[in-house]
Each structure stands twice: as structure tokens, then as C-alpha cells.
A and B are shown apart, each in its own frame.
Chain A
Amino acid sequence: MKLSENFKLAFIALLSNKIRTMMTMLGIIIGIASVICIVNTGDAQDKKTAKENEKYGAGQLSVMVQPKDESASFDAKLDSITLEQIDQYKEKFADLCQGISYFQNVDQTSVKKGNTKIELSMYAVNEDYQPLSAYPLLEGRNIDRKDIEKKHYVCLVTDYFVKKYYHSTNLKKAIGKKITVSIAQAQKEFEIIGIIKEDEFTEKYNAPTEFMFPISIYDSIKGVSSPIQNISIKPKDGVNTELFETTSTAFWKSTFSSSKTSKIEAYSGTKYSKSMEKQAQQAKLTMGAVGAISLLVGGIGVMNIMMVSVTERTREIGIRMALGAKNREILEQFIIEAMAICLIGGIIGIVIGSIAGMAISNALYEMSVYPSIYIIVIALGFSMAVGVFFGFYPAKRASDLDPIEALRYE
């Protein structure tokens, strides 16, 4: 008998006693649902972690100037990284480096319009700062090299700022508007050339919102050039991170090798995030294993019910044999029935587990992921395997029945 016919027969048999079928499936449903839910939540957590890491510069190499002598005083004068050195690095590492960003923190200030007072987090930045940051450009353009060289009074503000200051969500209209802020006790007017996306955190907790302007302007207001002592280098996508980190670190260390006061230290978020990743993997695997155990228990339930079913249908088996069913065909019939229960239970479990997983993810991490096809296929395969394994013994008992005895069974 063809496989499809067998499955059809199996479904008919399962439909004939819906309540019993449902209760048998329950174990499988719970087992699969719990594994899917756990893995899904874990995946969402991974995604969130990755997002956070990206935002806070993981994957980027942080190069810092530190005192050569560890016992040097707090305000000892250190050498700075020069623009020539940065250009040199950029040229040498053109293939590997996506950009180098640095900035100066400027005192927080605020702007008022009518009754609204908006706190601004001020950043004097270079041209690579915004592209390498976690603040994507929504409208307009970024500050470029020319703006910095020519000291254009241009700035980037956030969409949150536009909403609160101009009471508008029309970002295009905000481009070109002028805004006056206080920097180092001087009032300066800037032209908005670009809008960046603020994160949800700021809006939720009414935190200060970002305001970016060229670092050269800050230098000219202060009258001194800001020392560049902390840069962040981002590798191009797909670049071997280890290679990138080792060679870049080597470059900067050797560049400062002749310095009398300073040395270079380089840190990357990668090692940290890799260990976090590994930990998360372990946790997922452990919980997944627990879920798998409950699946096994579900399988035992299936075997139990199949045994009862076979006993109940002894006469039916006798009839089928009398009508010409071979032992092998009876075996197939019952194994496929067990597989069908587990397959349907598995599908229901996947649906429930996915919904639960995404709901929990949303509650915990404010984001969710769809279950991966990979996991779904494995879950389905596993449920069918449980069906075959736990269905075998009852099916064998059925196929070993003597037709004459079976026909006599009351």
C-alpha cells in the first residue's frame, strides 16, 4: 500500500476518536512547543544582544592613548593621534577599514522653544562618527570632510528633536533650518543638514538627545586643537575580525613606539561578545535538552495509547488480515498512525511554541524573531522519529497477532 494511502487511513483512524487523539498528542505538543519557545526566545535575545553590541561599538576596535608610565599623574600630557597618522592608516588599511571615528564630548546644553525645553547631548565629531555610530541617517546628509576643513556651521539633529522642537514629523522640512546653541559659553548658530534616528530609550525616559557638529568648530571656539586620544575603527563587512584587530593594533602600537610619554592600547568588543555568544548557546542547548526530555515523555504516552488502541482493535486487525492484509502492512499501518499523531502534535507544538516564544521575546526584549526553518525542520523530524520509535512496539504486537485468535476477540 502506498505511503499516502497509509497516511490517509491513519488520519481517518485518528479522527474517529478525537478526544483520545488530542490527549495523546498533548505530550508531543508540550515537548515540541517548549523546545521551540525556548530556542525562539534565545534567538531573540541573541538578536537583541547583537543589536546592542553594534550600537555600543562592539565589532569596532577601540584605540586609546594611555600613559606609558602607569604611575604618571592624572593630567600628565600625552601625545595625540594626528590627522596625518589617521590618513596614513586609512590608506594602508583601505581594504579592511570602513572608517575611523572620534569625537569630543562637549558640555550638555539645552534649547528652549515656547514652553518646551530640550536637553542636548553635544558631540563634536569627525566625518566618520555618524556612519560608524548606532544613529542611522534618516534625511539630508552627514557632516563631511569639507565641512570640517572649512569649519561650516552645520549640524545633525535627531528625529526626536525635530518632533519636540518643531512639533513636526516632516523631517525634510527641517533640513536647512537654523538653530542656536550654547557651546563653551558662546552662542552659535548652526544649520541643520541631516536628521539621525534617535533610539527608543531616549524618548521613553526623556533623556538628552544627540546634537552633532564638526570637531574643527569646537577647536576654534576653544582656541586649541582637541587632542585625539581615543578613536574607534570599524572593519569592512565580511573582513576577518581577528586579522583586522591584530594588524590594526600592530600599526598603532608601532606608530607610537617612539613616543616618550604614551603608548597605545587597543580593545575590541569581539572577544567579549564571542564569550557572551557562547554562553547564550550553552544556555539554549541546556534548556533545549530539557524540552527534548519532555518530548521523550510524550513519546512514552504515545506508545501507551497505541498499545491500548491495538488491544481495542484486535478484532479489526483480525478482519484486515482475513481480508488479505500482510503482517508488514499491519505493522506499517500502526507505525504510520503513531507517526501521524506525532507529526500533527509536532506541527501544533511548533505553532504554539512560536507564538509563545515571540510573545515572551516581545515582553522581555521588546523584539522578536520568526522561528528559523532549520529549527522547524529538526522539530518535525524529531517528532516523526519519536512516532516511529515509540510506535514500533505496539505496531509489532499488532502485526504478530494470529488472525483466527484476533477474529475471536470480543
Chain B
Amino acid sequence: MRKPIIELHGIVKTYNIGMENELEILHGIDLNIYEGELVAIVGESGSGKSTLMNIIGALDHQTKGTYHLDGVDVNTLSKDEMSEIRNKKIGFVFQNFNLIPRMSALSNVELPMLYAGVPKNRRTEKATKLLEMVGMGKRADHDPSRLSGGQKQRVAIARSLVNDPSIILADEPTGALDKETSYQVLDIFKELNKEGKTIVLITHSQEIAMECQRRVTILDGRIINDTGSESDAV
């Protein structure tokens, strides 16, 4: 059986604990994601998918339950250790690209390596390679204002790969793109997945979700459907 990269067990998230407006968003999520899967987490806005993503992405701690990433219990980690995890194990791709303005595409892609302490020439080498891989090699020196949406997302994808993360965590990656560009980006994800990359894609679009081999549906803070992974069926 393949090992789970992400193990979520009984995850509950409550905001404003002990206050008048105390609100429980996630009501006990159980989810295992295995190496090499391309998983879509589908839900409408308000379903709790963003909250779940923040926990998976080590941006936030759960209130109850356990979360293991690559065998490490994320809840026991300090803020600095969580930063390390985000830097080395998770590759983020955001809906609105979140590239740093007035910095070249190359510098943007290099950024996670900067925080990982990688020396300059190795950074440039790897970043250039990844940019070429996503078809942005010729625009390495462009800053984001000179790139189209699709181009920006491709740069963002290159950036997410730069420290060889265990998972790519993509939050509505096609949300700001037109249909054609969306499918181009999806194709990149599928290629990466074919090469063995584990990808978790958060989306509200059923259409996008249908492109992924596994679909987990979340509604009102609970998983209501899971097309299942091959590994769960033992």
C-alpha cells in the first residue's frame, strides 16, 4: 500500500473560541491523500474548503484532530517550523497568482530557494530550468505586469516546484483565467502528476474537478463524497 502523504483525522476548526461569535467551520474531517494522486477538493464558497486548505498548507492549526504531513504531526510544530514545512514540503499556487510585483519572473521563481538558503548560481540554474519547463523561458526577465494571467500562473507553478515539495497545493488555480488558458494550466498539472507529483486542487467548479482522478466533495464543513483513492480500497 502506498504511504499517505496527507493524513487528516477528525479535523475540527473553530474560530473565536470562548467568545460570543464562536463558530465551528470544520466538523470532523477524515482524509488521506496518497503519493502521486491528483485530488480535487470541491465545494461551494462557505463550504469550508479554504479553511481546510489553510490547515493542509500549514498556514493554520486545527482546533481538534490530527494532521500528519509526510509523517510529521504539523500541530506540534512551532511557527518557524511551519514556515520550514511550507518552504520545503508544500508548493502553493493561488487563484490570483500572488507573484511579487516589480520583481522579474526569474526572481519570483527563485524566492522559495532564497528562504531555503540555496546559493545564487544553483537558484538561477534551477529557476531557469523550471521556467523553461512551463514554457516561460523567454520571459524570465519580465516582471508580472508584463505577463498575461495564464503566463503568470505558469510562473507561479514553476515557483511552486522549486524546492521539490511533497505536494502542490493549488487554490482555485484557474479561477482568474479564461476557459482556454484554464485547460492549458490544467494540462501542466496533469503532466506534473504523470511524472509522479502529488497535487491537491481546491475548486468550486465541477468541470475542473472532473479533470482530476479523485474528487472529494465538501459541504458545510463535512466531506460528503469521495470518489476514493485506489489505496483506500484494500
Which residues in B have their C-beta under 8 angstroms from that of A324? 83-84, 86-88, 112, 115-116, 163
From A1, A16, A327, give the contact of B115 (CB < 8 A).
A1
B79 at the interface (CB under 8 A from A): yes
Contacting A at CB under 8 A, from B80-120, are: 80, 83-84, 86-88, 92, 94, 98-103, 107, 111-112, 114-117, 120
Beta-carbon contact of B114 and A5 below 8 Å:
yes
- 6 A-B pairs closest in CB distance: A324-B87, A16-B102, A324-B115, A326-B83, A319-B98, A323-B112
Of B102, B117, B159, B163, most buried by chain A (CB within 10 Å of CB) is B102
Which residues in B have their C-beta under 8 angstroms from that of A329? 115
A404 at the interface (CB under 8 A from B): yes
- Contact A327 to B103, CB < 8 A, known contacts A322-B86, A404-B54, A404-B59: no
B4 at the interface (CB under 8 A from A): no
B60 at the interface (CB under 8 A from A): yes
- Contact A322 to B115, CB < 8 A, known contacts A12-B103, A316-B101: no
Per DSSP, chain A at the interface is helix
Beta-carbon contact of B83 and A321 below 8 Å:
yes
Binary contact track B199-210/A, C-beta < 8 Å → 1, others 0: 000000000000
15 A-B pairs within 8 Å (CB atoms) are namely: A1-B115, A5-B120, A315-B98, A320-B111, A323-B86, A323-B87, A323-B92, A324-B84, A324-B86, A324-B115, A326-B83, A326-B115, A327-B83, A329-B115, A404-B59
A181 at the interface (CB under 8 A from B): no
Which residues in B have their C-beta under 8 angstroms from that of A315? 98
4 other A-B residue contacts (CB within 8 Å) besides A16-B101, A324-B88: A12-B107, A322-B98, A324-B86, A404-B54
A403 at the interface (CB under 8 A from B): yes
Smallest beta-carbon distance B192→chain A, Å: 18
Contacting B at CB under 8 A, from A310-344, are: 315-316, 319-329
B48 at the interface (CB under 8 A from A): no
How many residues on B have C-beta within 8 angstroms of the other chain's C-beta atoms? 29
A355 at the interface (CB under 8 A from B): no
Cα distance A1–B113 in the bound complex, in angstroms: 10
Smallest beta-carbon distance A406→chain B, Å: 10
Which residues in A have their C-beta under 8 angstroms from that of B100? 316, 319-320
Which residues in A have their C-beta under 8 angstroms from that of B150? none
Cα distance A320–B84 in the bound complex, in angstroms: 12
From B54, B101, B107, B115, give the contact of A323 (CB < 8 A).
B115
Cα distance A384–B84 in the bound complex, in angstroms: 31
From A12, A17, A403, give the contact of B59 (CB < 8 A).
A403
Smallest beta-carbon distance B23→chain A, Å: 15
Cα distance A16–B100 in the bound complex, in angstroms: 12
Smallest beta-carbon distance A91→chain B, Å: 74
Cα distance A65–B163 in the bound complex, in angstroms: 92
Contacting B at CB under 8 A, from A1-23, are: 1, 5, 9, 12, 16-17
A407 at the interface (CB under 8 A from B): yes
Which residues in B have their C-beta under 8 angstroms from that of A9? 114
B57 at the interface (CB under 8 A from A): yes
Smallest beta-carbon distance B69→chain A, Å: 14
Smallest beta-carbon distance B166→chain A, Å: 14
Which residues in B have their C-beta under 8 angstroms from that of A5? 114, 120
Which residues in A have their C-beta under 8 angstroms from that of B163? 324
- Contact A322 to B103, CB < 8 A, known contacts A1-B114, A1-B115, A315-B98: no
Cα distance A150–B119 in the bound complex, in angstroms: 85
Which residues in A have their C-beta under 8 angstroms from that of B60? 404
Smallest beta-carbon distance B83→chain A, Å: 4
